[in-house]
Amino acid sequence: MLYCLLMQVMVKLFGEFREAAGRARVELELPAGATCGEALRRLSQLAPKVGELLFGEAGRLRDHLHVFLNGRNVSTLGGLAVRLSDGDSVAFFPPIGGG
C-alpha cells in the first residue's frame, strides 16, 4: 500500500498580493518534500491573480520579488529549490520604494 504524505504550509500575503487574493493568508497542502517554488506554483493555481503578480510571461518568478521561508530570504537557503517542511511559513514582498 502506498501512502502520499502531505504537509501544510502557510503563505502570508502582503500588499498587492493580499489584494489580489482577497485574504492575508493561504494554507497549502503539499506533498512532503515539496520545494518553495512548487508552493508558489500551487498558490498561483489556487489564486490566478496572485500568480500573475508572481510569475512573468516566461513562467519565471519576477526578479524584483523577495521570498522568505520562516523569516529567512530563500536566496540564502538555496533559492526556490529549498525544500519545505510541515508547518513552514512562506512570505513574499514586492519591492519597497521610497525617496
Residue 69 CB: number of other CB atoms within 10 A?
22
Q: What's the mean pLDDT in 11-30? A: 94
* Res 11: pLDDT: 97
- Chain-centroid distance, C-alpha 60: 13
Higher per-residue pLDDT: 59 or 7? 7
Domain membership flag for residue 98 = no
Mean pLDDT rounded to a whole number for the chain: 90
* Secondary structure percentages of the chain, helix, strand, coil, to 5: 30, 30, 40
Q: DSSP letter string over 33-59?
A: T-BHHHHHHHHHHH-HHHHHHHB-TTS
Read off the CATH number of the domain in which 68 is found.
3.10.20.30
Q: What is the pLDDT of residues 70-88, one digit of tens each?
A: 999 999 999 999 999 999 9
Q: What is the pLDDT of residues 33-74, one digit of tens each?
A: 999 999 999 999 999 999 999 998 888 988 888 999 999 999
Compute the CA torsion angle 74, 92, 42, 7 (nearest 10 deg).
Answer: 60
Domain membership flag for residue 3 = no
Amino acid at 13: L
Give the domain extent around 31.
8-93
Q: What is the pTM of this model?
A: 0.87
